[in-house]
Amino acid sequence: MQLTSEEDEMLSGLQGWATQKAMQILVALGEIYGARRLIPVTSVQIAGVSYDNLGDAGLQFLSEMADGGGKVRVQTTLNPAGMDIENWQRLGIDPDFAEKQERVLEAFSRMGVTPTCTCTPYLAGNLPGFAEHIAWSESSAVCYANSVIGARTNREGGPSALASALTGLTPEYGFHLPENRYPTITFQVAAHLAETSEFGALGKVIGEHIQVSKAVPFIQGIPIATLEFIKSFCASLATYGGAALFQMQGITPEAAGIIPPVEQIRITQVELEAAMHSLSDGTEMEVDFVSLGCPHLSLQEIEHITRMLEGRQVKKEFWITTSRTIKKIADQLGYTQIIEAAGAKIAADTCCVVAPIRGRFTAMATDSAKACYYAASKHKFKTIILPFEEVVRQAL
């Protein structure tokens, strides 16, 4: 790979130990993927923040990078942590876990990372523009950034995203190159979608079609899709298909003027309903955990929950997960007070997947296809997927 003189300086250690390590990661990645050069990025988002996923080895790596003088060069935010940073006791988090999680966040803060822990950074002040090169690692956010904003990112791992933050660079390969962004298969959606849960199911159906081929899907037949629908779809498509980019007619800026790929697959109502069915372990089970906010909720979604909970009492553990940025606005608008008076919990900075809750519950209700996948595989919960309002009613 061709490096500039400044990049050579970083690699040789002249700009500090942590920068050198970061450069080594990027050069190794670039060589594996055949990149010819490094390019500047304007925004970074780092996954691998929860101590539940990082463990002691991850904590040690981050502490060494901070001790080694690592400092971010571009706007950098974090994925959800394993707990609500200000309110972890209320979520029943173990103090030992909290202490380790705080050390993880402290290491990131020493490097200049903004401790906004969210998988929807685009709702919390980390919003790149069209065609900007960025290095994000949360899979649902990567899909959103590429497909809805039209920014350009590969699906980075935690270490490579940190390396980009500390150098302001990423290797030029994959979705940074226009030729890799063209769709290669068309999906004609002939089903009615009106819920976040249904968009999640659609992500599962399309994801399973492209899981092996890694084709870029061109999606037609979605007349209306709110931000909330699309973020649900992104999370699911990334989970079930490993996708980092799709082109949706009417939504994706780059999709305008594209001739649909010849290979076509039609998605029917029957397939969508089968996918919904496959995400639930049955309707008769006793739900003991209700969770909304995968991906993190928008302010509109929190307002919706607030209206439904006002003057009522929940009877089950109910986590409403969002970014601290959105939570602060909810505080100002009085939503938090109403939600907490009803006995539900706004859990900022974290989510039902990265929090250490394995074994605490047996059956979870959610509107998220991604949450179903991880709650079953990581926490061994049974799951039921329902429309958004039905999930709230489960708590009541």
Least spacing, CB of residue 331 vs ligand F3S, in Å: 20
Least spacing, CB of residue 112 vs ligand F3S, in Å: 22
Backbone angles phi, psi at 322, to 5 degrees: -160, 180
Q: What is the DSSP string of 321-352?
A: EE-HHHHHHHHHHTHHHHHHHTT-EEEES--T
State the Cα–Cα distance between residues 137 and 52, nearest whole angstrom: 17
Q: Which is nearer to ligand F3S, 193 or 369 (CB)?
A: 369
Least spacing, CB of residue 167 vs ligand F3S, in Å: 25
Backbone angles phi, psi at 44, to 5 degrees: -130, 145
Q: Does 121 bind ligand F3S (CB under 6 A)?
A: no
361: left (phi over 0), alpha (psi -120 to 50) or beta: beta
Q: Does 171 bind ligand F3S (CB under 6 A)?
A: no
Q: Which is nearer to ligand F3S, 79 or 164 (CB)?
A: 79
How many of the other CB atoms lie within 10 Å of CB of 27?
20
Q: Which stretch binds ligand F3S (CB under 6 A): 88-96, 186-194, 260-268, 350-358?
A: 350-358
State the Cα–Cα distance between residues 299 and 305, nearest whole angstrom: 10
Site for ligand F3S in 199-228 (CB under 6 A): none
Output the CA–CA distances (angstroms, integers) from residue 354 to 17, 64, 82, 83, in the order listed: 30, 23, 5, 8
Q: Does 230 bind ligand F3S (CB under 6 A)?
A: no
Do the beta carbons of residue 48 and residue 137 sit within 8 Å? yes
Q: Does 176 bind ligand F3S (CB under 6 A)?
A: no
Site for ligand F3S in 275-314 (CB under 6 A): 293-296
Least spacing, CB of residue 382 vs ligand F3S, in Å: 17
Count, residues in the chain: 396
Choose, by CB under 6 A, the member of 74, 235, 348, 385 that binds ligand F3S.
Answer: 235
Q: Which is nearer to ligand F3S, 140 or 164 (CB)?
A: 140
Angle CA(322)–CA(326)–CA(330) in degrees, nearest 5? 105
Q: Does 81 bind ligand F3S (CB under 6 A)?
A: no
Token output for 86: 């200000």
Least spacing, CB of residue 295 vs ligand F3S, in Å: 4
Q: Does 79 bind ligand F3S (CB under 6 A)?
A: yes
Do the beta carbons of residue 85 and residue 324 sit within 8 Å? yes
Q: Does 101 bind ligand F3S (CB under 6 A)?
A: no
Binding site for ligand F3S (CB under 6 A): 79-80, 119, 138, 140, 235, 293-296, 321, 351, 353-354, 370-371, 374
